[in-house]
Structure 1
Amino acid sequence: MDIKTQWPRILILNIAGVALFLSWYLPAGHGFWSALDAGMFHFFNQKLVESRAFLWLVALTNNRAFDGCSLLAMGALMLSFWRKESAAGRRRILIIGLVMLLAAVVLNQLGQALLPVKRASPTLTFEHVHRVKDLLSLPTKDASKDSFPGDHGMMLLIFSAFMLRYFGKGAGVVALIIFVVFAFPRVIIGAHWFTDIAVGSFTVALIGLPWWLMTSLSDRLISLFDNYLPGNSYKIETEK
């Protein structure tokens, strides 16, 4: 992919990412975002004691086993394409997965290091709140000492972007549904603020992902892995 033709789009997405972060970071008390964060947390937090069914739903969707379900959902989506491919195509999909994991690790580390924010989750910030761990014996993640940016949401956004880039719009839409289903239970239980994802995760994605997926970087890494990983008897193409 030629960066010269993509440069305006990369610049626009980067500016959008910076503007999104500054809209939250610069205003005193985080401006309108603060009211949105607090309102969403208190709404769902109160529901925990109003509905036993809702409490169990929130607990189950924030259990570690549910995180495993997110991996299964992502794997199933990629498997649906892998099963239709030739040996070369299957190798290509596996290598795309490796490059995607590399991008996730790099962008997550950069996001944690470069965004000048450290804050605890709402369950550790507000007083007199309802915590799932106190209401049920089922192990859940309902708190975090450093919740910004939302790393879980960030990983799912990266997956969505890779699926859109390499497998088309349909796969991208399905991946975004997976993102919503598996990222926002953390907000509902209070382990993350809404802006941990809506600002933090999206900021990293808007700034970092265009340089991976709208330049030749990702395609070159795929070719590099293809050349040096074992079993390279099948020649793959980075573009379909």
Structure 2
Amino acid sequence: MRATRLVTILLLNALGVMLFLSWYLPPDHGFWAGVDKGIFFSFNNQMVDHPGFALLVAITNFRGFDLVSLLAMGALYLVYWRRETPPGRRRLLAIGITMLLSAVILNQLGHLLPVQHKSPTLFFENAHRVSELTGIPAKDASANSFPGDHGMMLMIFACFMWRYFGCRAFLVGAAIVVIFALPRVMAGAHWFTDIAVGSLSVLLVGLSWVLLTPLSDAIVNFFYRKLPGKYKP
């Protein structure tokens, strides 16, 4: 691994640690508390004033709607899948398995952080629950919302798209992150910082060692060789 790449990884690690500590160390989370509260109530009050908005938030936080985010990611992956030869598709499958494995491990490591954090709908006594406003069983609360699992998975997908398919794929992946992570914040199932601090800090520290070192390629090559199929090398 080149020295410049190692410096980049260490800088990303330092940025991730500082981002987390900027939220974790100050009493009541410092300036982040005001950011979180402002964002939560701006959406929470809108749901009361505008029933149509509340319905939109409820639908996008219904468990079945998670399939839409999977379809969006699958559709982007399909674009590159269709361009490949059969051996290339085998490699894309290996990349997908590596991505899933990385997501599971990083998600578990993220929950080792010394944080127990209720979602804003459980933290504020005067919070409105979109499930109660609409009657739709939407995900609008979490007993431990930090870091944001859903947002982390989406971010990992976007980063893998950048690593293996380039900037254009990353931009589309980033749009998917915003579109499908935002509903959790609008419903109050997550604080803004659950994603912008929690998920992002875990990725800056952990995923950099996967994607900016030979590790991800080594895992991809392992699955490429070991997966069964007609084009097994």
Q: Structure 2: which 5+ residue stretches go unaligned?
A: none
Match for residue 207 of structure 1?
205
The one-letter amino acid of 1:87's match is P
Match for residue 185 of structure 1?
183
Match for residue 118 of structure 2?
120
Q: How does 1:27-106 map to 2 (within 5 A)?
A: 27-106=26-105
Instruction: Work out whether residues 87 and 234 of structure 1, in 8 Å CA contact, stay in contact via their aligned partners in 2.
Output: no
The alignment yields a C-alpha RMSD, in angstroms, of 1.0
In structure 1, C-alpha distance between the alignment counterparts of 2:39 and 2:83, rounded to whole Å: 42
In structure 1, C-alpha distance between the alignment counterparts of 2:125 and 2:148, rounded to whole Å: 22
Deviations 1:5-35 (A, max 9, x none): 4101000100000000010011111100001
Q: CA deviation at 1:135?
A: 1.1
Deviations 1:184-215 (A, max 9, x none): 11001100000000100000010011100000
Q: CA deviation at 1:138?
A: 1.4
Deviations 1:142-201 (A, max 9, x none): 000000000100001100000000000000000000000001110011000000001000
Match for residue 219 of structure 2?
221
In structure 2, C-alpha distance between the alignment counterparts of 1:82 and 1:157, rounded to whole Å: 20
In structure 1, C-alpha distance between the alignment counterparts of 2:219 and 2:127, rounded to whole Å: 47
1:166 matched to 2:164? The reply is: yes
Q: CA deviation at 1:137?
A: 1.6
In structure 1, C-alpha distance between the alignment counterparts of 2:74 and 2:97, rounded to whole Å: 13
Q: CA deviation at 1:136?
A: 1.3
Instruction: Work out whether residues 9 and 209 of structure 2, in 8 Å CA contact, stay in contact via their aligned partners in 1.
Output: yes
> How many pairs were matched up?
233
Report the identity percentage. Answer: 58
Instruction: Work out whether residues 16 and 200 of structure 2, in 8 Å CA contact, stay in contact via their aligned partners in 1.
Output: yes
Instruction: Work out whether residues 226 and 232 of structure 1, in 8 Å CA contact, stay in contact via their aligned partners in 2.
Output: no
In structure 1, C-alpha distance between the alignment counterparts of 2:104 and 2:2, rounded to whole Å: 23
TM-score, length basis structure 1: 0.95
In structure 1, C-alpha distance between the alignment counterparts of 2:3 and 2:226, rounded to whole Å: 29
Instruction: Work out whether residues 149 and 197 of structure 1, in 8 Å CA contact, stay in contact via their aligned partners in 2.
Output: yes
TM-score, length basis structure 2: 0.98
In structure 2, C-alpha distance between the alignment counterparts of 1:84 and 1:217, rounded to whole Å: 25
Instruction: Work out whether residues 3 and 215 of structure 1, in 8 Å CA contact, stay in contact via their aligned partners in 2.
Output: no
Q: Structure 1: which 5+ residue stretches go unaligned?
A: 236-240
Instruction: Work out whether residues 120 and 147 of structure 1, in 8 Å CA contact, stay in contact via their aligned partners in 2.
Output: yes
Instruction: Work out whether residues 13 and 206 of structure 1, in 8 Å CA contact, stay in contact via their aligned partners in 2.
Output: yes
